[in-house]
């Protein structure tokens, strides 16, 4: 017997003597309605959270101190499995979203400016300019990462204090 039939039979069950719903059917109906409403409310909230989070861009800076954050947890939206730990990022993950999108388009065009020019609304000069900017941004991210690692190494070897390290990292991050 399917769920809709069970609900229908419980909702339509009347006490033959009094013409009212029996106490059993009434309490069972409330429990079933309560469990279904909780299920659908939870499902709706999860879908809304997923949609909202899918549209939000992930910040790479700590909202408290402004220093770079590291990915520490991943979760499956479908089954709820969660993995925690320190995950490495590539320099491509640190690029701005528009640079990542352009790089993806360039990749899908077979790294051919001519093919990218034919498939889009940008001309050769605009594509070449964006490609040069992407390369410069990538080099800047890589250089900044090396500088941050050098500051952290100085802190580890106690060449500088925590306050000095924080100040240097903030200058590197542009805050």
Domain that holds residue 36: 3-55
H or E, element range at 123: none
Within a domain: residue 26? yes
pLDDT in tens, 58-99: 566 777 777 777 778 888 888 888 888 877 778 788 788 888
Within a domain: residue 129? yes
Within a domain: residue 81? no
Same domain assignment for residues 110 and 169: yes
Same domain assignment for residues 28 and 95: no
Within a domain: residue 80? no
Within a domain: residue 70? no
Within a domain: residue 148? yes
DSSP type of residue 110: T
Q: How far apart are CA 89 and CA 157, in angstroms?
A: 25
Q: How far apart are CA 45 and CA 49, in angstroms?
A: 6
Same domain assignment for residues 42 and 96: no
Determine what percent of the chain is predicted with pLDDT higher than 70: 63
pLDDT score recorded for residue 1: 45
Q: Is the pLDDT of residue 40 over 80?
A: no
Tokens of 47: 């879908």
Within a domain: residue 35? yes
Within a domain: residue 71? no
Same domain assignment for residues 104 and 35: no
Q: Is the pLDDT of residue 24 over 70?
A: no
Same domain assignment for residues 155 and 109: yes
Count up the domains in the chain and report the number.
2
């Amino acid at each position: 017997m399917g769920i809709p039939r069970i609900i229908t039979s419980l909702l339509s069950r009347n006490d033959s003597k009094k013409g009212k719903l029996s106490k059993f059917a009434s309490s069972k109906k409330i429990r079933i309605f309560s469990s279904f409403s909780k299920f659908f409310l939870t499902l709706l909230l999860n879908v809304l959270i997923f949609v909202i989070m899918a549209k939000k861009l992930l910040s790479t800076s700590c909202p408290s101190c402004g220093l770079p954050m590291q990915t520490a947890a991943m979760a499956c939206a479908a089954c709820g499995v969660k993995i925690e730990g320190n995950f490495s990022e590539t320099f491509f993950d640190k690029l701005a979203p528009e640079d990542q999108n352009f790089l993806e388009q360039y990749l899908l065009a077979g790294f051919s400016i001519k093919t990218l020019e034919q498939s889009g609304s940008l001309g050769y000069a605009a594509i070449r300019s964006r490609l040069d900017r992407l390369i410069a941004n990538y080099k800047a991210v890589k250089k900044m990462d090396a500088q941050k690692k050098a500051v952290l190494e100085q802190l580890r070897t106690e060449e500088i204090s925590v306050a000095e390290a924080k100040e240097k990292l903030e200058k590197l991050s542009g805050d």
